[in-house]
Chains A and B, each alone.
Chain A
Amino acid sequence: MLTAAAVIGVGHFISQRQDYETSIERSYQAEMAARVQIAQGDDSKAARRTIAAEEARRAELRDSISDDTRNTAILVGIGLIAGLIGALLLFAGLITAMRRPLEALVDAAGRLAAGDRSTRVEVGGLSETATLGKAFNDMAAELELEASERDQLDRMKDEFVLTASHELRSPLTSVQGFAELLMMERDSLTQRQVETVEIILDNCRHLVRLLNDLLDLARSDAGRLAIRPRPTRLGPLIEDVVRTLRAQTEASEQTLTEKIDANLPLVEVEPDRIRQILVNLVTNAHEYSPKRASIEVTARVTDAEVEIDVIDDGPGIPPAQMEHIFERFVRGDAGLTQRVGGTGLGLAISKSLVELHGGTISVDSEVGRGSTFKVLLPVAPPGAVEAPPSGPRAIAEGPR
């Protein structure tokens, strides 16, 4: 408003200035006419009075105009300051109006990034922030849709693997069963036929292992890999695994020994699953190590955990491979895997299983020196007693 007053003031000042110049000009013209009259010899008193009067009038006009100029300058100054303050207030208002929606947007973006795909912002305020808010909501909606589609695909994948590994079991039962029947009559088979049937049986066993591993992984992914832990003595379990696998290691002239602390406490685990993990670790040590290597399984108590180490003096694992060793379908050097019979899933499953028991699994290895796989399992609560398995017994195939 004051700015408007300043503008009006400046306009007023300009028109006054024009009046002033016209008046001065007229005054000079009047004085000039009087002087001409005098120069022509008409030295009348009236002419001299006119000159004096015009001089006085001009002085008065000059005084008045300089007052006007000062007033106008003050007015303009005030107007400018007021304008500046007005602009500042306007900016402050704009910033406040934008800040709240922007803060909400930053907040929502943080939640979205943290995985809350249902995050939305309230659309409103200035048209710019409203547009931004709407764009954000559209983006979040799209992400939410994609995430739910991905979840659904994941579920379908898990379902598929479960069904497939289930459906494959019946034909596999027939192939293996009839091959075993043939082997029961091995006396009437030629050497070549016996070898052929042995190959069929070998591959059946491999297929069963793959199916079991895939099933475990699919269950783990679907959150359906359940364990039924009960207080368990690890010593006999480790001895049993070592005894079962000794035939294989002896065939490679490897030594397989165990060293178990005498006062090992009970651990809260599902024995079959721990057996599965140990069989996997010892089999890996056996298959990846050369002839005459030595493999040792140790168990001791550390604080609230029992530590099981599977130690070999084999070729070791290069650091680049060690990073990925617990990922699925990651296997040791191709040169070695030629004679390695695993599925590439064993360590991934072992990791899932150990973690399901509330434990950890890790590896320490040096190329040329060997590898140590370390499993930590929580000790059973004090007062726990070794419990027999519950529920109907499963008549399943041997150790997985």
Chain B
Amino acid sequence: MTTVLVADDSETILLLMRTRLELAGYEVETAADGQEVTERVDPDSTDGPDLLLLDAMMPRKSGIDALRELRAAGLETPALIVSAHQDPSDADAPTDLEISGYVTKPIDFDLLLGAVAELTAKAA
């Protein structure tokens, strides 16, 4: 089963993401911030999540910082960054990081689920 790790500091958004992704047939793990993500994901393990869906801005550790650490440790899992910014060029969009795409809020779930399907199919 394909697993997606979703990180967001809003429980409501987590519930929404989990519901939509589970309805689409994915297994969903959640994290409240980037710190939890780096603790939970082992870059060397092969049975970790198939996709990371990280909010760009979170307390303690942002999704960007978490992904940067994991990439530095050798993680190759595809990752989508969720940003409240309308335009990835606005603020929290580093260019030095391997990111599969940006999801802007409010989320268009048709587009998001399409991207998730595409990225996890590649991984599988």
A residues apposed to B, CB below 8 Å? 166-167, 169-170, 172-174, 176-178, 180-181, 184, 204, 208, 211-212, 215, 226, 228, 391-398
Interface string of B73-99 (1 = CB under 8 A from A): 000000010001111110001010001
Q: Are B10 and A392 in contact (CB under 8 A)?
A: no
B residues apposed to A, CB below 8 Å? 10, 12-13, 16, 19-20, 23, 80, 84-89, 93, 95, 99-109, 111-112, 115
CB distance from A164 to the nearest CB of B (A): 11
Task: Decide yes or no: A170 and B84 within 8 Å by CB, A178-B16, A395-B111 being known contacts.
Answer: yes
Q: Are A392 and B16 in contact (CB under 8 A)?
A: no
Q: Are A395 and B10 in contact (CB under 8 A)?
A: no
Task: Decide yes or no: A398 and B101 within 8 Å by CB, A166-B85, A391-B88 being known contacts.
Answer: no
B residues near A178, Cβ cutoff 8 Å = 16
Main secondary structure of the interface of A (DSSP, over half): helix
Q: Are B100 and A392 in contact (CB under 8 A)?
A: yes
Pairs A-B, 5 closest by C-beta atoms: A169-B105, A177-B16, A169-B84, A173-B106, A397-B108
Task: Decide yes or no: A395 and B103 within 8 Å by CB, A166-B85, A173-B13, A181-B19 being known contacts.
Answer: yes
* Partner pick for B105 among A173, A184, A392, CB 8 A cutoff: A173
CB distance from A355 to the nearest CB of B (A): 19
Across chains A and B, the number of contacting residue pairs, with CB separation under 8 Å, is 78
B residues near A226, Cβ cutoff 8 Å = 89
> Can you give 8 A-B contacts (C-beta < 8 A)?
A173-B13, A204-B106, A391-B95, A392-B88, A394-B104, A395-B103, A395-B104, A396-B86
Report the Cα distance A211→B106, complex, angstroms.
11
Q: In chain A, what residue has the closest Cβ to B87?
A: A394
CB distance from A244 to the nearest CB of B (A): 15
A residues near B103, Cβ cutoff 8 Å = 395-396
Report the Cα distance A396→B80, complex, angstroms.
12
Q: Are A394 and B13 in contact (CB under 8 A)?
A: no
B residues near A394, Cβ cutoff 8 Å = 87-88, 101-102, 104
CB distance from A374 to the nearest CB of B (A): 28
Beyond the given A181-B16, A394-B101, A397-B107, could you list 16 further A-B residue pairs with CB under 8 A, ordered by the A residue number? A166-B84, A166-B85, A169-B84, A170-B105, A174-B10, A174-B12, A176-B106, A178-B16, A184-B23, A204-B106, A215-B86, A392-B99, A394-B87, A395-B103, A396-B103, A397-B106
* Partner pick for A173 among B99, B101, B107, B115, CB 8 A cutoff: B107
CB distance from A89 to the nearest CB of B (A): 72
CB distance from B56 to the nearest CB of A (A): 11
Task: Decide yes or no: A395 and B108 within 8 Å by CB, A212-B86, A226-B89 being known contacts.
Answer: yes
B residues near A184, Cβ cutoff 8 Å = 23
Q: In chain B, what residue has the closest Cβ to A184?
A: B23
